[in-house]
Structure 1
Amino acid sequence: MTSREKINLIFNHKGDGLGAMWTGHPNDNTIPIYAKEWGIEETREAIFEHLEDDCRWITADRGYHHPDGVPLFDTSYGIKQRATLSAEGCFANAETVADIENYPWPKAEYCDFTKVYEEIDKYQDKMVFTGLWSPFFHIVADFFGMENYFIKMYENPEIVEAVTERIVDFYVEANEKFFAGLGDRADVMFFGNDFGTQLDLFISPDNFRKFVMPSFKRLIAVGKKYNKKVMLHSCGSIYRIIPDLIEAGVDVLHPIQAQAKGMSAAELAQYKDDLAFVGGIDAQSFFVNATPEQIKEEVRRVKSILGPSIVISPSHEEILPNVPAANVLAMAQASRE
């Protein structure tokens, strides 16, 4: 059985006794540390092969090529923007739809996914997570400035909805183009927006349903049209809107940030008939400080609670240099038991 076949069973809630693992995305500075530890090439792929990783994450965003080299979304367009979450972007003072019309919105016609398809073709035996990342929530926040964005939800909801619509228009059209050409090369549409802090959502559930969920549904509809499992990434505490995500058609939740409020394996177990999971092994402190044997015990514990519909992975895909190589190896070994 290939990794792809195995995880398809897991995602379809038929994976009794099957163990699977996704390493995540080792940081650039982590790669040489692990390579030296294991005597392998200094590449992510060498790490994945060493760990017998079942998955590959291949985003379609690299297929966007503006003829003039313009970035996908330049939120500092025409202004000098500070690199902070609260920094005002180019729409900070926009009050009407007319104020955003002159922005050079991206076009799906600038997408050429040939190279992305070629990369996916290399891993037909693996479970490939793909699609455009589509982080519209973050992009809207950058256009306005995060605090300003949340305030405008109350003071000027029309402009928030107009900016969101234009961003998501592109992602829907581009994903439509990508999945139409993808065919059956991959089985999972993977996209992400971080909606949670350590304790709660950034915005109220009501505002989430008003300003975010309609865009979610548009993106999910593309994945469903092409018969893909829809896998959503969101860090933080999002437990208050998990029923909404299920109703909207999300099939798989990643990365289940274990220390965030309401996101422990025990608390999420109530949803395991409706969702599959990828993640669950705490990367905030446990992965850094535990022994390899403790890692193995935690993997077994999480599998016993959320199994059989879980692919073991860290609770954040970015593996930082402070995570011991021995702990990542222990996770991989225990995940396959």
Structure 2
Amino acid sequence: MTYRENVIEAIKHKETEHTPWAFEITSDFARLYKEKYPCADVEQDLGSHIMFGKYKKIKWLTPTLYEDAFGVRWQLGNDGGDIGIPVNAPVGIDGIEDYAFPPVDTALLREGLDAMREDTERFRMFRMTYFLYERAWALMGMEELLVNMALEEKKVMRLFERIAEYQMGLLDEVLGEEFEGVYFGDDYGRQKGLIMGPEMWRKFIKPFAAEIFRKVKEKGKYVLLHSCGDIEDIFPDLIEIGVDVYNTVQPEIYDLRKIKREYGKNIVFWGAVSTQQFLPYKTAEEVYEKSVETVKILGEGGGYLFSPTHAVTPDIPVENIRAMLEAVKSVTW
């Protein structure tokens, strides 16, 4: 069975010999890993079952500051991450209609699609980060967006509508290609509860997400949604609108046994080994033991993709990631 087939079986809630696993790696961690385990590609060396077809256009302004295609400037921090934080806000509440969304760079898009076409082994996903809420706050600023969701409902709804129209147009360019799923990144959660609350999420985000997910599923592809934080309040909504896989499951937030019992027949969980409070601080032996326990809780009966909760940063020891790999390989069903 190929990695791709293994993931598809898990999404269908079928048990395979091994629970499929995935590792997403930051560039700084990749450098450290290659010093100990020379290889061309770290994610492939770890046997990651998934791959992303990426579409991200940026222009570097300084070694630590870049501008994306939407005019947002991102300042990298010193945490080893690859994203950074926005330092400007191109859209004001009264400038929503005037903002010009960037044209699709067809040559860059083709690179991501070609990479998926050439991968014969792994489960392939077209990645759409900054999906709805994240795109809105990146353009407007998080505080301004949240305030205006309460004070300027009609204008903010129009912003979400325009973002959704842009994302639908981008999907029109890719859904005819051969790959398995679309990965949507859209952080809704805090350590406890949704940032905007479940009712605001249902008002501003759910209708557009439902329409877009329906478009993806009509083309026979899986819907994978990433959100950090505690979004259990909307798990039933996500199931209702067609989410097949939810990433990332943070064990410091969720009771793994509870969510497996209550939702595990209807949605696939992906993640569950914490990069926030566990992997940087524990020994390889502790990581191995916790990883085996996690696979046994969430992997029974299928419906689970084993991985760290986020992209692996350089504060995490290389041997801890190797321990995770050995752990998931050790559990058979």
Q: Calculate the TM-score normalised by the size of structure 1.
A: 0.85
* Residue type of the alignment partner of 2:6: K
**Structure 2 match to 1:80:** none
**Structure 1 match to 2:206:** 213
Q: Deviations over 1:131-150 (max 9, x none)?
A: 43342212211333212211
* Residue type of the alignment partner of 1:253: Y
Q: Using the alignment, how far apart are the partners of 1:93 and 1:230 within structure 2?
A: 31
- Structure 1 residues 88 and 115, CA gap change in structure 2 (3 angstroms): closer
Q: 1:154 aligns with which of 150, 154, 169?
A: 150
Q: Using the alignment, how far apart are the partners of 2:91 and 2:7 within structure 1?
A: 42
Matched, 1:303 2:300: no
How far off its partner does 1:84 sit? 6.0
- Structure 1 residues 89 and 275, CA gap change in structure 2 (3 angstroms): same
**Structure 2 match to 1:67:** none
Q: Using the alignment, how far apart are the partners of 2:174 and 2:111 within structure 1?
A: 12
> 1:131–1:179: 8 Å Cα contact kept in structure 2?
no
**Structure 2 match to 1:169:** 165
**Structure 1 match to 2:64:** none
Q: 2:140 aligns with which of 140, 144, 156?
A: 144
Q: Using the alignment, how far apart are the partners of 2:44 and 2:106 within structure 1?
A: 30
Which structure 2 residues correspond to residues 219-298 of structure 1 after superposition, within 5 A? 219-260=212-253, 263-269=254-260, 270-298=262-290
Q: Using the alignment, how far apart are the partners of 1:10 and 1:277 within structure 2?
A: 10
> 2:52–2:116: 8 Å Cα contact kept in structure 1?
no
Q: Using the alignment, how far apart are the partners of 1:301 and 1:71 within structure 2?
A: 40
Which structure 2 residues correspond to residues 109-128 of structure 1 after superposition, within 5 A? 110-112=105-107, 113-128=109-124
How far off its partner does 1:218 sit? 2.1
**Structure 2 match to 1:60:** 55
How far off its partner does 1:75 sit? 4.7
3-state DSSP of counterpart to 1:287: coil
**Gaps spanning 5+ residues in structure 2: where?**
59-66, 74-83
**Structure 1 match to 2:69:** 72
Q: Using the alignment, how far apart are the partners of 2:56 and 2:167 within structure 1?
A: 10
> 1:196–1:236: 8 Å Cα contact kept in structure 2?
yes
Q: Using the alignment, how far apart are the partners of 2:314 and 2:26 within structure 1?
A: 7
Matched, 1:314 2:308: yes
> 1:73–1:139: 8 Å Cα contact kept in structure 2?
no
**Structure 2 match to 1:50:** 45
How far off its partner does 1:298 sit? 1.5
3-state DSSP of counterpart to 1:232: strand
* Residue type of the alignment partner of 1:252: V
Q: Using the alignment, how far apart are the partners of 1:8 and 1:139 within structure 2?
A: 29
3-state DSSP of counterpart to 2:33: helix
Q: Using the alignment, how far apart are the partners of 1:84 and 1:327 within structure 2?
A: 28
> 1:132–1:175: 8 Å Cα contact kept in structure 2?
no
**Structure 1 match to 2:195:** 202
Q: Calculate the TM-score normalised by the size of structure 2.
A: 0.86
> 1:280–1:302: 8 Å Cα contact kept in structure 2?
yes
3-state DSSP of counterpart to 2:202: helix
Matched, 1:5 2:1: no
- Structure 1 residues 111 and 217, CA gap change in structure 2 (3 angstroms): farther
Q: Using the alignment, how far apart are the partners of 1:217 and 1:11 within structure 2?
A: 19
**Structure 2 match to 1:79:** none
**Structure 1 match to 2:36:** 37
> 2:131–2:167: 8 Å Cα contact kept in structure 1?
no
Q: Deviations over 1:137-188 (max 9, x none)?
A: 12211333212211211211011011111111011111122112x13xx211
> 1:251–1:276: 8 Å Cα contact kept in structure 2?
yes
> 1:258–1:265: 8 Å Cα contact kept in structure 2?
yes
Identity %, equivalent residues: 23
3-state DSSP of counterpart to 1:299: helix
3-state DSSP of counterpart to 1:300: helix
> 1:300–1:335: 8 Å Cα contact kept in structure 2?
yes
Q: Deviations over 1:93-115 (max 9, x none)?
A: 41xxxx4333222345x434322
**Gaps spanning 5+ residues in structure 1: where?**
64-69, 77-82
CA RMSD in angstroms, aligned pairs only:
2.2
3-state DSSP of counterpart to 1:172: helix
* Residue type of the alignment partner of 1:50: D
Matched, 1:92 2:84: no
